[in-house]
Amino acid sequence: MLRLCILLFKRETRLLFRRPMELANPLVFFALVISLFPLAIGPESRLLATIAPGVVWVAALLAVLLSLDGLFRSDYEDGSLEQWVLAPQPLSLLVLIKVLAHWLCSGLALVLLSPLLGLMLGLPERTLGVLLLSLLLGTPVLSLLGAVGAALTVGLKRGGLLLALLILPLYIPVLILGSGALQASLQGLPTAGYLWWLASLMVLAVSLAPLAIAAGLKISVAE
């Protein structure tokens, strides 16, 4: 089983790097959205720092959502998804590895890029650690929840809008906790409570989301 997981992880990362535009699009979107706010609002650093927590997290949320529309589409079109459903190995484990590979190739890059963009929004250096940690805990949750919607809409030709309608309500707790942690850090307040809640959501998502993704894929393949 371990060997299978390693081989599947290598396969997924290899396929992702063969489509570099799919990896670059969310990062470019994330950077562009945040870069436009200083141009639109002006160079007032205090105002930018005030709105920075919400801006960073909304941009990250939309960037992750943008990257998930085609998560299972290529596997669905070439028939690989049917083989996954029929395989003797647990489908929930296979999809967890796929989502993990996707997050490491796109979501982690977004997390590493965030401090630079946070400085563009006037965030103090003391808040960058909380920004990194909150995104590091929150973006896997966004990817796993988004993968549930991607699994349910994989058979639809234009499922992007439906995916957003299904998943955005589930993103609200992560958005509130992530931006709240950054806002608390900006005001010099304790952030541990927000981060612990984000960590709890991540554990819950890793435990339950693969089961929901597997069920969604079975429904989509059966149709």
Which pLDDT band, with edges at 50, 70 and 90, does 12 fall under? confident
Tokens of 122: 């006037």
Contact criterion met (CB below 8 Å) for 20 and 107: no
For 74, counting Cβ atoms within 10 Å of its Cβ (0-12 exposed, 13-18 middle, 19+ buried), the class is middle
Domain ranges for the chain, please list them.
Answer: 2-222
pLDDT of residue 58 exceeding 80? yes
Please name the residue that has the structure tokens 């997390």: 111
**Residue 65 has what pLDDT?**
87
**Residue 67 has what pLDDT?**
82
Q: H-helix or E-strand containing 18?
A: none
H-type helices in the chain, by residue range? 2-17, 20-41, 45-68, 73-78, 80-86, 91-102, 108-120, 128-153, 160-186, 192-222
Please name the residue that has the structure tokens 């535009």: 21
**Residue 130 has what pLDDT?**
93
Which pLDDT band, with edges at 50, 70 and 90, does 5 fall under? confident
pLDDT of residue 170 exceeding 70? yes
pLDDT tens digits along 74-110: 788 777 788 888 888 888 898 999 999 989 988 898 9
What does pTM read for this prediction? 0.90
Tokens of 13: 């990362």
pLDDT of residue 201 exceeding 80? yes
What is the C-alpha separation between 218 and 209, in angstroms, rounded? 14
